[in-house]
């Protein structure tokens, strides 16, 4: 009986480690650029992000900073994002869903067509995002990856964003 229990525990431990072999521990896994288009305000945005690994199976942390230019407004939007990847295989195209939250800083030029409606030339709000995307990395789970994502803005965030980016991994 003791041999059966030891055998079952050994199998559980062996397969348990196998189940988590593809997860990436929390910590620095890479950094990279991002660029895209923003809707309302209509802008081009660029920025960067940090890959902080997985806090749970397939749940990736990727805080970022995007700066938007155009439509007589400059927008600065840092965001803390969590994304759920539907596959653990980084070498395959992997869809993901997620969301983010962070402050959004708006600053408009003196020639902004709606300036007379506001008493100052800047404003700050709290923005939220629902996002969806697809990414592909190399087969090694710790190396970089490419992604294409769309965001739907909530509250004080821009109405929509389309972004492409690359993470340079270690």
Q: What is the 3-state secondary structure (H, E, C) of 105-168?
A: EEEECCCCCCHHHCCCCEEEEEEEEEEEEEEEECCCCCCCEEEEEEEEEEECCCCEEEEEEEEE
Q: What percent of the chain has pLDDT over 90?
A: 55
Instruction: State yes or no: pLDDT of 14 exceeds 80.
Output: no
Please report the pLDDT score of residue 103 as a whole number: 96
At 121-152, the pLDDT tens digits run 888 999 999 999 999 987 655 567 899 999 99
Domains of the chain: 25-169 (2.40.160.20)
pLDDT top residue among 14 and 92: 92
Region 16-21: mean pLDDT is: 41
Other Cβ atoms closer than 10 A to 19: 10
Average pLDDT over residues 41-59: 93
Helix, coil or strand: residue 91: coil
What's the confidence (pLDDT) of residue 144?
Answer: 77
Average pLDDT, the chain: 82
How far is it, in rounded angstroms, from Cα 56 to Cα 90?
Answer: 16
8-13: long-range contacts (C-beta < 8 A, 24 or more apart)?
Answer: none
> In this structure, are residues 78 and 67 in contact, taking their beta carbons and an 8 Å threshold?
no
Looking at the predicted structure, is the pLDDT value of residue 115 above 60?
no
Q: Kindly state the average pLDDT of the residues 106-115.
A: 69
pTM (predicted TM-score) = 0.78
DSSP strand pairing (30-39 vs 43-51): antiparallel
Among 47-56, 58-67, 105-114, 141-150, the least confident range: 105-114
């Amino acid at each position: 009986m003791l041999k059966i229990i030891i055998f079952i525990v050994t199998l559980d431990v062996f397969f348990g480690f196998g189940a988590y072999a593809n997860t990436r521990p929390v910590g620095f896994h890479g950094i990279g650029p991002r660029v895209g288009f923003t809707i309302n305000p209509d802008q081009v945005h660029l920025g960067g992000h940090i890959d902080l690994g997985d806090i749970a199976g397939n749940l990736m942390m990727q805080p970022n900073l995007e700066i938007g230019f155009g439509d007589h407004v400059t927008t600065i939007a840092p965001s803390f994002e969590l994304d759920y990847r539907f596959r653990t295989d980084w070498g395959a195209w992997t869809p993901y869903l997620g969301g983010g939250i962070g402050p959004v800083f708006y600053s408009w030029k003196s020639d902004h067509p709606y300036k007379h409606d506001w008493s100052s030339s800047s404003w700050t709000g709290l923005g939220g995002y629902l996002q969806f995307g697809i990414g592909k990395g190399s087969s090694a789970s710790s190396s970089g990856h490419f992604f294409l994502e769309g965001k739907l803005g909530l509250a004080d965030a821009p109405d929509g964003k389309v972004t492409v980016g690359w993470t340079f991994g270690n």
